[in-house]
Amino acid sequence: GSEPAAHCYCGHQFGSFAGQLGDGAAMYLGEVLGPRGERWEIQLKGAGLTPFSRQADGRKVLRSSIREFLCSEAMFHLGIPTTRAGTCVTSDSKVIRDIFYDGNPKSERCTVVLRIASTFIRFGSFEIFKPPDEYTGRKGPSVNRNDIRIQMLDYVISTFYPEIQEAYSDNSIQRNAAFFKEITKRTARLVAEWQCVGFCHGVLNTDNMSIVGLTIDYGPFGFMDRYDPEHICNGSDNTGRYAYNKQPEICKWNLGKLAEALVPELPLEISELILEEEYDAEFEKHYLQKMRKKLGLIQLELEEDSKLVSELLETMHLTGGDFTNIFYLLSSFSVDSDPPELEDFLEKLTSQCASVEELKVAFKPQMDPRQLSMMLMLAQSNPQLFALFGTKANINKELERIEQFSKLQQLTAADLLSRNKRHWKEWLEKYRVRLQKEIESMSDADAWNTDRVKVMNSNNPKYILRNYIAQNAIEAAENGDFSEVRNVLNLLENPFQEAEGFREVKEDAEEEGATATAAACAQETGSRLPYCSKPPLWASELCVT
């Protein structure tokens, strides 16, 4: 009984206005009202042609559909606002896809994901009114249709921000300003949550930003393994526009584009002021609150905490620490550990740092030496021509890579271990001093420690959707075995070891005869790594575009 429809929107893609885009592979089926009055929009993604498919076929394949299905659910169970995935259904129909855009197409199975969210309206939905762009010349399909903009604003605010509609029903400018302030704060909190679990979206275009502050459109996303602030998860992002450390500023930039799209219903001088006053402050506040929980700083909020977090991340960067596993280990650090216990803890920490082999792969030069030499000459002799081929940042990064790679040739495993232990010992001493201040403010140190561990274990996941875990599940599914996708889903539904119901899930999975991987980080037979392990060396070769 549904009447399928596709949504029209525009977007700034990689910084440039792309004009009309729209749902090229997603179909809106309708909405369902839940028992508590909550609204769920139902979509099929990959079900075929829509009016916005352009030259494509509207299909999605098993590989990308499994990734979206698993990551939607992983994010939800991590407590991060997200669209949901209800089902993932595959078929024997095949389509041709050139996965890496390198002229090597292959046949893949068509697959449909049922997507669920309160709404899939995006920032780009409001860009359909954009007049011709001064750089690209492209324009939205609904230029000068302010009547539709008013209708959309009325719908979005009354439906998804009813408290704002109620408070400002007699003043549309104040109402629209309150709405913009709220979406600014929601977006700031969302990206703070991403940063705290090492999640990289990959394609933060304005058409991939939710108008209600959800994580939306899972494409070339990735959870960071080895901590690298400049980590790029999208193999197509040649300039690193959407790198991990750029996500907060890019989301702010996207909000600026939403502000432009709301004129004249919200004057730019009002929205720009809101953006400057609210975004950075909200991001910093939420990020630090979350990081305090991850470090078990549950009693005091001290100014020095921000520096402690920065120094932790710097230590992770220097040692190539695994972002997820280092945080997870910290709950077992004891303030009053004796030297042998400290040494044992340092062994555990350094086991989660990159080996010499892993660092060699990470810093392997990516340019042919002759190409690099030509680019350096071109940068000096003809900067305009050089700008067409590369950027100074990319060249500097390559030179840095060559220098690091050269140093690694002389580095032994013993030297690396010694250096890493020294770095971690220095930071742990600062951490111990900070935890001591917590204890001094408490009358019962044991009760404090119990609470600290509990808070840390509910904010530091043991399991995330690492690329290699997704890849193993995809390869099994492409060979007709879907049990690994189910195992991984069970695992991601319980990302925190101490999560309530953890034991029951494990027992259910074992009763059903599934592999006992749903909730245990035990070494399995054969060559399989535990799901909580830092990735194997081959995982660094995985490329998602």
So which residues are the catalytic ones? 207
Angstrom distance (rounded) from CA 190 to CA 213: 7
Residue 451 identity (one-letter amino acid): D
Structure token digits, residue 428: 């742990």
Cα atoms found within 13 Å of the Cα of residue 22, Cβ hemisphere only:
20
Contacts of 59 (CB under 8 A, 6+ apart): 25, 46, 48, 93, 95, 110
DSSP sequence for 239-301: T-TT-GGGHHHHHHHHHHHHHHHTTTTS-HHHHHHHHHHHHHHHHHHHHHHHHHHHTT--S--
Whether 69 and 54 have beta carbons less than 8 Å apart is answered as no
d(CA 493, CA 69): 12
Question: Taking a C-beta distance cutoff of 8 angstroms, is the pair 255, 279 a contact?
Answer: yes
Q: Residue 210: beta bridge partners?
A: 122
**Cα 503 from Cα 518, distance rounded (Å):** 10
Work out the angle at residue 380's Cα, subtended by the Cα atoms of residues 374 and 381, and round it to the nearest 5 degrees: 85
Going by C-alpha positions, the residue among 302, 291, 299 that lies closest to residue 330 is 291
Rounded to 5, what percent of the chain is helix, strand, coil?
Answer: 50, 10, 35
Token pair belonging to 117: 């969210």
